[in-house]
């Protein structure tokens, strides 16, 4: 229940999947710290810009891991409300429905409930992040040539979890007092994908009005 979630203080630590850690002492960890420091200044447009002299792939990699962790935590807080019964299809409002395919295990898109879809999606993202050939954590190991297209697919899919939470589970988010957290996280995500043109505008359509509202103040 919501009240027990509050009292136990488990709210912040409950993630949907295990958190993906960036190894301390690594250059990527330094980049993450830099991102956190600029975020603290409150200027999200500045915070998403590529730091001077840094590698774009590495910057996108660090932020992608960070967004996975944020969404993991946000969705973790509302899993009790996202069930086979409440969400028999994965949707973002009445006009948008998502069917799952990962291109390897499931080639033909399947219709499934939101919790099942999000489970597939987050497991798939986790597998990509854990793949050292795609997301090298060691210094000097180059990123693969297809890294950007993989990152774009990851971010496009993570967006769908935000879209589902906003459209189908906004009431519990408000009850849990997670609204500011969700809005800040999503705004950061949107500024990031806009800065590097990582998600096609059509994909963002389910939250277009919200995106305009959140970003108009910071033009």
Nearest to residue 123, comparing CAs of 86, 75, 172?
75
68 Cβ contact partners less than 8 Å away, ≥ 6 residues apart = 20, 122, 125, 126, 129, 154, 158
Beta partners for 98?
90
Residue 112, marked binder: no
Rounded Cα gap, residues 34 and 85, in angstroms = 42
Residue 27, marked binder: no
Scanning the structure block, which residue is given the tokens 């800065």?
A: 195
Contact 5, 176 (CB under 8 A): yes
Residue 7, marked binder: no
Query: CA geometry: angle at 37 spanning 34 and 43, to 5°?
Result: 110
155 Cβ contact partners less than 8 Å away, ≥ 6 residues apart = 64, 67, 189, 193, 198, 199
Residues in binding site for Zn(2+): 82, 87, 164, 169
- Binding residues, as ranges, are 82, 87, 164, 169
């Amino acid at each position: 229940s919501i009240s027990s979630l509050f009292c136990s203080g488990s709210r912040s630590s409950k993630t949907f999947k295990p958190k993906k850690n960036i190894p301390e002492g690594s250059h990527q960890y330094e980049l993450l710290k830099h991102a956190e420091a600029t975020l603290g200044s409150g200027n999200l447009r500045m915070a998403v810009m590529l730091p001077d002299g840094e590698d774009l792939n590495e910057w996108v990699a660090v932020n992608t891991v960070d967004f996975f962790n944020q969404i993991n935590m946000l969705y973790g807080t509302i899993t009790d409300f996202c069930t086979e019964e409440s969400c028999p299809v994965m949707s973002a409002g009445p006009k948008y429905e998502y069917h799952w395919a990962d291109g390897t295990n499931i080639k033909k898109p399947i219709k499934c409930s939101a919790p099942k879809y999000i489970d597939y999606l987050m497991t798939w993202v986790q597998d990509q992040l854990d793949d050292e050939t795609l997301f090298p954590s060691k210094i000097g190991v180059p990123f693969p040539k297809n890294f950007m297209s993989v990152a774009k697919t990851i971010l496009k899919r993570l967006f769908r979890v935000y879209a589902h939470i906003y459209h189908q589970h906004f009431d519990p988010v408000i009850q849990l007092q997670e609204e500011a957290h969700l809005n800040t996280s999503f705004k950061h995500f949107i500024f990031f994908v806009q800065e590097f043109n990582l998600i096609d505008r059509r994909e963002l359509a389910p939250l277009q009005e919200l995106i305009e509202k959140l970003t108009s103040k910071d033009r």
